[in-house]
Amino acid sequence: MKKKQLGHSGIEVPVLCLGGNVFGWTADEQRSFELLDALLESGLNFVDTADTYSHWAPGNHGGESEAIIGKWFKARGNRGKVILATKVGMAMGEGKKGLSRDYIRQAVEESLKRLQTDYIDLYQSHRDDESTPQEETLGIYAELIHEGKVRAIGASSFTAERLKSALEISRKHNLPRYEALQPEYNLYTRIGYEGAVEEVCVTHGLGVISYSSLASGFLSGKYRSAEEAASRPRAGALKRYFNERGMRILESLGKVAREVNSGSAQVALAWLMARPSITAPIASATTLEQLHKLVEATQLVLPQAAIEELNRASAETVAA
């Protein structure tokens, strides 16, 4: 399995990351164990989660995904075989959010307990917190790295300006730097990453692990209308893709998929993996069939003509 380095961290990761947002939500504990087992059997070993997953599900409060992964680690005794990424900063209850020193200190201990591990490979700021000085946030991360509880740090959904600022503070004060960025990026959602954000990542050698890589399942091609998707758990997120541009992207995906004898989901992920700045797109699965498609995507190399076709179809405007 081809691997890439995560920034300057020295951590090598495979070219695709399994999203743990579904664990404890649309995948119960038993199914989550099956998916994680199959992931390792396939040769992939990179898993991304967050302390807040999956608080949005009825009856959940956050921490469910980490707890399931932790039970799996304990049951299988395989913590050392997995590259584990989790996040901090999103709301976990009253007064429990942000990137302050005291809150990160509390949150990391709670994550480690749920995960039943003594270290996190990649600990990420889930959302920027402009109310906390970046020196304070990076300072507590330095302590956690020194203590061996965190190997490397990353950021999610930061603007180019705030990411550059954090990198400069790290350099100036000899603090650990963000080695990876987790932006929303896929064939439909391109403009927020391409341009200034991507330039910062490339210039400073950051790893990039994109989330929403299949646009909540839209790019799998299994839904042809908002009505078809209405009963799905992510129906609200899916609605925004059903427009003229979205249909154009699906048509192009289907065409390329037929040409390369694959599926739309595999092609959409292969398009991401073909972009030099992308280290590993994140994609989730709730069935073994879906997981096998993710694995297939890592083995699919798109012809340049297919990449150009997808680029044209997914552009914000199409030349007449």
Which positions are catalytic?
53
Beta carbons within 10 angstroms of residue 202's beta carbon: 12
Q: How far apart are CA 126 and CA 92, in angstroms?
A: 12
Q: How far apart are CA 89 and CA 100, in angstroms?
A: 9
88 token code pair: 């901090």
User: What backbone torsions phi and psi does residue 277 show, to the nearest 5 degrees?
Assistant: -80, -15
Q: Under DSSP, is residue 31 helix (H, G, I), strand (E, B) or coil?
A: helix
CA gyration radius, the chain? 19
44 token code pair: 């992939």
Look at the block and give the residue holding tokens 């064939």. 187
If you ran DSSP here, which 8-state letter would residue 207 be given? E
150-156 and 178-182 strand pairing: parallel
Pair 23, 49: CB distance under 8 Å:
yes
Pair 215, 186: CB distance under 8 Å:
yes
Beta carbons within 10 angstroms of residue 75's beta carbon: 12
